[in-house]
Amino acid sequence: MEQDNTPPSTPTDANETTEEQRAMQDKLDHRNDDPDAPGGHQTREQIPDESGR
Taking only the tens place, the pLDDT of each residue in 6-53 is 877 766 777 788 899 999 999 888 777 787 877 777 888 888 888 766
∠ at Cα 50 (46, 53), nearest 5°?
120
Contact assessment for residue 40 and residue 47, using Cβ atoms and an 8 Å cutoff: no
Q: How far is CA 46 from the centre of its chain?
A: 23
**pTM reported for the whole predicted model:** 0.41
